[in-house]
Amino acid sequence: MRPPEPPEALVGGPTQLPVAAPATVRRQVRALLARHRRPFAALVAFNSVAAVAALVGPQVLGRVVQQVSDGTATVAGVDRLALWFAVALVVQTVFTRSARMRAAVLGEWILADLREDFVTRSVSLPLGVVERAGTGDLVTRATTDVDRLAWAVRQAVPEMAVAAVTAVFVGGALVLTSPVLALAWLVAVPPILLSSRWYFRRAPQAYAAELTAYSQVNSALAETVDGGRTVEAYRLGEQRIPLTDRRIRRWISWERYTMSLRTVWFPSVEAAYVLPIATVLALGGALYARGTVTLTEVTAAVLYTQMLVEPVDLLLMWFDELQTGQAALARLLGVHEVPAPEVDEGAEPTSRAIRARDVRFAYREGRDVLHGVDLDVEPGSRVAVVGPSGAGKSTLGRLLAGIHGPRTGSVSMGDVALSTLPAETVRRHVALVTQEHHVFVGTLRDNLLLARPGADDVELATALQAVDADGWVAALEHGLDTRVGAGALRLTPGQAQQVALARLVLADPHTLVLDEATSLLDPRAARHLERSLAAVLAGRTVVAVAHRLHTAHDADVVAVVEGGRVTEYGSHDELVSAGGAYAALWRSWRDDGDNGQDGDDRAVNDGGTADVEPETQ
Amino acid sequence: MARLTCVGIDWATAMISLRTLPTPAPGSPDLRTAGRLLWWLARQQAGILTLGVLWGIVWMGAQAAVPYALGAGIDAVTAEQPRAAAGWALAVLALGVGQAVAGILRHRMAVTNWIAAASRVQQLVARHAVALGADLTAQVATGEVVAVSSNDVERIGGAFDVSARFAGAVVSFLAVTAVLLNASPELGLVVVVGIPVTALAVGPLVRPLERRESDQRARFGEATELAADTVAGLRVLRGIGGEELFLDRFRAVSDEVRRASVRTARVRSLLDALQVALPGAFVVTVTWLGARLALAGEITPGELVAFYGYTAFLVLPLRTITEAAHKWTRARVAARHVLDLLTVQRTLDDRTTGADELPDGDLADAATGFVAPAGRLTALVCADTDEASRLVARLGRYVPGAVTLGGVPLDAVTTAAVRRTVVVQDKDPVLFAGTVADSLAVPGSGRVPASAALTAADADEIVEGLADGLATELPERARSLSGGQRQRLALARSLVVDPPVLVLDEPTSAVDAHTEARIGERLAQLRAGRTTVLVTTSPLLLERADVVALLDDGRVVASGTHRGLLRSQPRYRATVVREEDS
């Protein structure tokens, strides 16, 4: 059967974070085992003892058969043999327990090492790398890959280790019992090897596709439910049901394919297992008749041959899982391979002024987003960056905040290029707050303290007040100790933005880049917040990227960015009187609203509405 | 195929093949109880279930017979009859091959049963989700539905998967017991009594193990969540600081995971050891007793070997029986979840009877006094965005209300007619995964081509910027696009529908002023002559509206043109012009 059409690729951002090469993974695994050498050696030793103890049974049985058929058996002798069997069982039990326990303890240490190493590495990634690759890939690694690795370390590795040790000892016992009869296994090797190789060449990709296809069945349904109102409004039900059925069909076609792979592999391997058993029996019969082997040897060899099936089978079955674990490990170790940025650890900016000179920048090679931007941000000034979406406003903001370095040209603070400063230095001077707000799982206090560890409640309260958040925080039953984030109290997007801004107030850098930082609040609240924030930020440099024009109106300087260039630059009044694109936009936005500025708020608050006369057309 | 009906089951249809799945119509399930739902599912696939059971019996039977052949072979060896020994070796080989063949056939049936049950439930859930539409989102969290469609579906599938092995286990257990009792009542009794006892002996450990495992899972989940949360918020951490704080937290949680896992391992390793010791003790006992019997000449040495093999084998059916009990319990719980979901009723007052058409005319809401004149672009301004959204929901009859179109109450016609005539784009329109072209392929009048809609929504430059243009794949909710880009695509989609009445709730709230100005102009042109309601506070859109209505405190308090209202209504000015007051 040919593999079916692949499932639609899962669409996401391009994965730009590296995956560790196989050689690196092997090196790391060796290093890990070397670090835990002693417990690992002890583990192998305990497993070996348990495996050896398990070999006693067939020997006992073989002797009983021999003695009974020889007529040399006595009741006392049989009892003694049974006692040996029982003692061996006790040893096997005790050592199995201990080996399993040691395997778990060791495995958990290794897992803890790996996941802590991953998170430690992740939080020191350069911000530019995180911005470009997105956090989705990292989140997948932190969840799915850690999970898969844990599964492999907890299940596959111990099972395979035990199986390997057992196979070695049973095989050894078989050879010691009767080297001739042990040769019978040779007949099983070709079918097992050939069919397994055939299978493992196809299986991993097929199962990956099957899983993807299966998860797409669920994602189609999740979307239908999530967008239930959209489905109904646009009468999309007639499309969604066939879509689900199509996805189910695609998934099942992969299930059929993997089933066809197993239909070849399973019976081949299983039939191959009985070949040596039958061979030992037939061969043993012939050799015993000639007196070449003893009855003990034949019986024990038959039983050992049968015993060897299980570990060999386990090794084959877990092989897949181990590969999955290895792939997960490669992705976790991949964060090691992100090149460290070339930074000058000791450097400090020489002034507060930020200067951008002939800045060009591209996210993808050959596609510049900024085409030679010059911009001076004077200390203490308020600069508004306006322009159509996609014009490069946010990119310019990120460059001014030192998150990306320009492709050519320079962005410097004083004489020092921002991109040569380590992130820890940059953020003492300049911070960026975007539309994207993240509320960490934890208490509200945790969410604020990260900006200024050790801040007391008074400082936190002041920061919250500065962003108009003191009201709703005070109304929470547990105040600052309220648990927020996923699984706890969900803050509204507006509240999350307030928290982000409060962090900024606490971090207190002298320059702030605000990229649509209040866009998720309703217009009136946003205006109020900006006003109270301005009071706290007096004397700070503020670069505000905005799509609403009132922000521009309030700024000292307005930079209009269009098509990756600064097309207009000057104060609001200068630009309005210059009569360019900004002026036109401003006029249509404000219309003739310049009259009667007073009394806006009074009109909103005075409450009496009944007497307003509707205008009729 | 001829219809072959027996005990109320159409056996021809119940003989499902993966080739024919998913079934074109999943049918109407018995939703009285969880047990009945499972029973109904079983009846739909009775054919393959029966076939699976048959192969299961053959498969396990062949396994059970191997010790017999081995024992007889050893006897032949003992008797120095190499030909007979070779004969029994062939028998072992035949049994092995038979077991392999029956095994794969059983496996194929088990997988088919699993998939048949799982996919049918998925189809049922998908159809019910569509039927509930806007209502489902309000009543059930998306996560719950996804949990049903993944976890619960898998558990129900699992119950059907284990059935064939269960049947084989029961039959082979009984057969082996009979053989043992026949050969030696004494040994037989030891087996019959001993095996269940050893199975029960581990019982007391199971509960503490499950408790520790669930504690371990919970802690692992916590650590995963913390790690995911930390990297998801990495921009904040790297931009503001606090990495050490989070690392310390993570290390503490990670260490707790380790401890909890070791606690689990303590019990699990004990259980593993017992699973060696108990069946082992049993094998030792049988071997010992058997050896004495062999010594006394009551059984042959070969029979002793066979007994040894039987006792080792019996562990397997016993484990299967325990597994089946476990899986069926879980399937029942899962079926209850499915049942809960499938019995969610629509709360919207749906009409399937009555007139199936709405006339042209003014759209009017009695509660607020809002009127959108036919064929005009009406803007609705409201300082309280929730209040506006409530009105929008009434206009689309997503909630009951006294709304008329051309004088006909929306309540008096079928829901289908309302959906065809009045299309509401709410504040959070969802774009589905698929190509851009797919997302624009919605049922509509056919008069507005996608290209025209894209231009009107000023979205053509978005499409141009995408790697494959209209054929670019977008992820769920089009997350790869910015908020403003998503809004413009969603607007284009609404324009393609080109309904007689289009209600847009803040369609450009995330769009910059330049673009918004363009959209205002083009939207008015494209919708000329059609009734459009636009909820907005943006002056750039308001100046394009034919009529502007100001909603305040539940009533329309003023209406007129944008310029007129700016002059005459201070309240209006306050809402639409966000200016600093000094």
Asked if residue A202 and residue A151 are part of one domain, the reply reads: no
Cα separation, A271 vs B98, whole angstroms? 8
Beta bridge partners of A382: A542
- Is residue A80 classed as helix, strand or coil in its secondary structure? helix
Answer yes or no: do A421 and A567 share one domain. yes
Q: How many whole angstroms separate alpha carbon A510 and alpha carbon A528?
A: 22
Nearest chain A residue to B103 by CA distance is A267
In a shared domain, residues A162 and A230: no
Calpha distance B150→B144 (Å, rounded): 10
Interface probe for B, chosen from A52, A68, A258 (most Cβ of B below 10 Å), is: A68
Q: Is A313 within 8 Å of chain B by CB? A: no
What is the per-residue pLDDT across A480-491, written as a single tens digit (0 to 9) for each? 999 887 667 778
Instruction: Tell me: do A391 and A512 sit in the same domain.
Output: yes
Asked if the Cβ–Cβ distance from A596 to B239 is below 8 Å, we say no
Please indicate, yes or no, whether residues A122 and A200 belong to a single structural domain of this protein: no
| Total domain count, chain B | 3
In a domain, residue A126? The reply is yes
Confidence category of residue A49, pLDDT binned at 50, 70, 90: very high
| Cβ separation A231–B288 shorter than 8 A | no
Provide the percentage of residues in chain A whose pLDDT is more than 90: 21
Residues B409 and B499 in one domain: yes
Per-residue pLDDT tens over the stretch B211-226:
888 888 888 888 888 8
Mean pLDDT (whole number) for B202-208: 79
pLDDT band at B354 (very low <50, low <70, confident <90, very high): confident
pLDDT value at residue B3: 59
Q: Please indicate, yes or no, if residue B484 is contained in any of the structural domains.
A: no
B517 and B417: one domain?
yes
pLDDT digits (tens, 9 = 90+) for B125-165: 989 988 888 777 667 766 677 777 777 888 899 899 898 88
Instruction: Collect all residues of chain A within an 8 Å Cβ-Cβ radius of residue B294.
Output: 64-65, 68, 73
Pairwise CA distance, residues A314 & A427, whole Å: 54
Residue B346 clears pLDDT 90, i.e. is over it: no
Q: Please, what's the b/e burial string for B125-148 (b: 16 or more CB within 10 A of its CB; e: otherwise)?
A: bbbbbbebbbbbbeebebeebbbb
Q: Is the pLDDT of residue B483 over 80?
A: no
ipTM: 0.85
Per-residue pLDDT at A597: 37
Report pLDDT for A414. 84
Whether chain B has a CB inside 8 Å of the CB on A34: the answer is no
Bridge partners, A483 (sequence order): A443
Give the tens place of pLDDT for each residue, A517-559: 776 666 667 777 777 788 778 888 999 887 677 778 888 999 9
Q: Which helix (H) or strand (E) holds A370?
A: strand A367-377
Q: Which residues contact B252 (CB under 8 A, 6 or more apart)?
A: none
Residue A46 shares a structural domain with residue A194? no
- The number of angstroms, rounded, from the C-alpha of B400 to the middle of its chain's C-alpha atoms is 31
- Which range (A139-143, A304-308, B456-460) has the least confidence? A139-143
Domain co-membership, B405 together with B424: yes
In this predicted structure, what is the pLDDT of residue A97? 93
Judgement on whether residues A274 and A202 belong to the same structural domain of the protein? yes
Instruction: Residue B133: give the domain boundaries.
Output: 13-184+317-345
Mean pLDDT of chain B: 86
Task: Mark yes or no for CB contact B557/A614 under 8 Å.
Answer: yes
Query: Are residues A118 and B125, on separate chains, in Cβ contact within 8 Å?
Result: no
User: Measured between alpha carbons, how far is B88 from B72 in angstroms, rounded to an integer?
Assistant: 7
CB–CB contact A597 B579 (8 Å): yes
Taking the CA atoms of residue A376, residue A379, residue A381 and residue A384 in that order, the dihedral angle to the nearest 10 degrees is: 40
pLDDT, residue A521, reads 67
Whole-number Å distance between alpha carbons of B450 and B494: 10
Say yes or no for a CB contact (<8 Å) between B269 and A101: yes
CA distance B577 to A149: 56
Q: Which residue of B has its CA nearest to A111?
A: B258
Measured between CA atoms, how close is B1 to chain A, in angstroms? 23
Residue A570 is predicted with a pLDDT of 92
Could you tell me if residue B462 is inside a domain? no
Query: Are residues B133 and B208 part of one domain?
Result: no
**Phi, psi (rounded to 5 degrees) for A391:** -85, -15
Rounded to whole angstroms, how far apart are CA atoms A73 and A582?
A: 109
Angle, to 10 degrees, between the axis of helix A237-290 and the axis of helix B82-132?
A: 170
- With respect to residue A302, please indicate whether it lies within any of the assigned structural domains: no
A288 and B CB contact within 8 Å: yes
Cross-chain Cβ contact B136/A548 below 8 Å: no
- Residue A427, pLDDT score: 84
User: Which pLDDT value is given to residue B321?
Assistant: 84
State chain B's maximal CA–CA distance in angstroms: 118
Q: How confident is the model at residue A614, as a pLDDT?
A: 34
Which amino acid is it at B106?
R
Residue B267 within a domain = yes
Structural domain of residue A209, as residue ranges? 179-292
pLDDT at A598: 34
Residue B119, domain member (yes or no): yes
Residue A8 CB neighbours (<10 A): 15
Residues B202 and B173 in one domain: no
Res. B43: pLDDT tops 80? yes
Residue B50 lies in a domain: yes
Q: Point out the residue among B266, B494, B565 whose CB comes nearest to the CB of A615.
A: B565
Domain contains A474: yes
Are residues B36 and B77 part of one domain?
yes
**How far B6 CA lies from chain A's nearest CA (Å)?**
29
> Which amino acid would we find at residue B578?
R
Distance CA B6, CA B438 (A): 46
- pLDDT of res. A13: 42
- Chain A nearest-CA distance from B96, in A, is 6
Pair (B331, B280) in one structural domain: no
B172 and B225 fall within a common domain = no
* For residue A90, pLDDT beyond 90: yes
Burial bucket for residue A9 (CB in 10 Å: 0-12, 13-18, 19+): exposed
Asked if residue B329 and residue B274 are part of one domain, the reply reads: no
Rounded Cα distance, B473 and B475, in Å:
7
Is the per-residue pLDDT at B21 higher than 50? yes
A253-298 pLDDT, tens digit per residue, is: 999 999 999 999 999 999 999 899 999 989 998 999 898 889 888 8
Residues B36 and B132 in one domain: yes
User: Is B352 among the domain residues?
Assistant: no
CB contact under 8 A, B261 and A288: no
Q: In this structure, are A163 and A276 located in the same domain?
A: no
Mutate to test the interface with A, among B45, B66, B74, B316 (most CBs of A within 10 A): B74
Q: What is the pLDDT of residue B570?
A: 86
Q: With CB atoms and an 8 Å threshold, state whether A285 touches B76.
A: yes
- Same domain as A118, residue A50: yes
Domain count within chain A: 3
Instruction: Clarify whether residues B164 and B136 are in a common domain.
Output: yes
Q: Please tell me the distance in Å from A474's CA to the nearest CA on chain B.
A: 23
Which pLDDT value is given to residue A487? 67
Closest CA relative to residue B399, chosen from B418, B371, B373:
B418
A426 shares a domain with A387: yes
The β-bridge partners of B379 are B534, B548
Cβ–Cβ gap B581/A597 under 8 Å: yes
Nearest by CB to A69, which of B78, B264, B553?
B78
Indicate whether B400 belongs to any domain.
yes
Name the A residues in 315-344 with CB < 8 Å from any B CB.
Answer: none
| Amino acid making up residue A482 | T
**Cβ–Cβ < 8 Å for A264, A198:** yes
DSSP 8-state assignment for residue A155: I
3-state SS of A452-516 is CCCCCHHHHHHHHHHCCCHHHHHHCCCHHHCEECCCCECCCHHHHHHHHHHHHHHHCCCEEEEEC
Q: Is the pLDDT of residue A613 over 50?
A: no
Task: Name residue, tokens 């945790």.
Answer: A446
Q: What's the CA gap between B27 and B124, in Å, rounded?
A: 8
Q: Are residues B151 and B71 in the same domain?
A: yes
Percentage of chain A beyond pLDDT 70 is 90
pLDDT at A16: 63
Tokens describing residue A256: 């059929």
- On whether residue B2 sits in a domain, the answer given is no
A76 has a chain B CB within 8 A of its CB: no
- Evaluate the CA torsion angle A92, A95, A101, A103 in order and state its sign: negative
Which candidate in B60, B119, B216, B240 is best for mutational testing of the A interface (most A CBs within 10 A)? B240
Residue A2: how many CB atoms within 10 A of its CB?
Answer: 6
Domain membership of residue A453 (yes or no) is yes
pLDDT score, position A524: 66
